[in-house]
Amino acid sequence: MYWLIAGCLLGTGISIIGLTRLAVQHHDELSPRSLSELAAAEDRLLRYFRIILWLCGTLFAFTMYGYIIPRIKLAFPIAIAWSVQYLGEVLLACIPARGKSLRNHTILAQVMALGMLLLSYLFYVASAGLAANLQLGLSIVMTILALLTFIDKPRFIWYELPFIYLSHISIVVAAFSV
């Protein structure tokens, strides 16, 4: 069963390394764009981005469906929040953040982000002790980062990345606390 926890650890590592690499190598301070927009700029970057999203999302899905959800309180709402996040992630990877598809991509990204945020708060409610305190802290910081993406658009990517990574950490904390 512990191999199921390895999915979220591996997914976290791949996501942090891969998405940070994409952002650092291709971010332009003079023309700031979201991670998805950076990826959509070139077909090779879009393929790279899609592989990261599909691979990491699936690794997290193994942990969520196979390990966390069967063991956690509030399993049904957590399964719904996770499924919204995962479906949003898979679909937004299919729809590039450019041209006519940008609006649909943005909607899916917001659905995914809402699922991430909701999941972290549900983990807080379903947890106890130190895990609950960690989940609450992660949820509050994620909420602040989410608000900053709307308030400070030129630095969107620098709020987007830690938001994603904290979401991953929230799943890791849940995996080790159930």
Q: Is the pTM of this model over 0.85?
A: yes
Nearest alpha carbon to residue 166 among 100, 117, 126: 117
Nearest alpha carbon to residue 56 among 27, 85, 26, 98: 85
User: What pLDDT score does 3 carry?
Assistant: 83
| pLDDT-based confidence at residue 28 (cuts at 50, 70, 90) | confident
Q: Pick the more confident residue, 48 or 1.
A: 48
User: What pLDDT score does 148 carry?
Assistant: 97
- As a whole number of Å, the end-to-end CA separation of the chain is 12
Nearest alpha carbon to residue 43 among 92, 89, 96, 106: 96
C-beta separation of 37 from 161 below 8 A: no
> Could you report the per-residue pLDDT of 130-160, keeping only the tens digit for each?
999 999 999 999 999 999 999 998 899 999 9
CA distance 91 to 86: 9
| pLDDT-based confidence at residue 32 (cuts at 50, 70, 90) | confident
**Percentage of the chain with pLDDT > 90?**
92
Tokens 């989940």: give the residue. Answer: 135
Domain positions in the chain are 2-177
User: What pLDDT score does 91 carry?
Assistant: 94
| pLDDT-based confidence at residue 41 (cuts at 50, 70, 90) | very high
C-beta separation of 171 from 117 below 8 A: no
> Could you report the per-residue pLDDT of 93-110, keeping only the tens digit for each?
999 999 999 999 999 999
User: What pLDDT score does 2 carry?
Assistant: 80
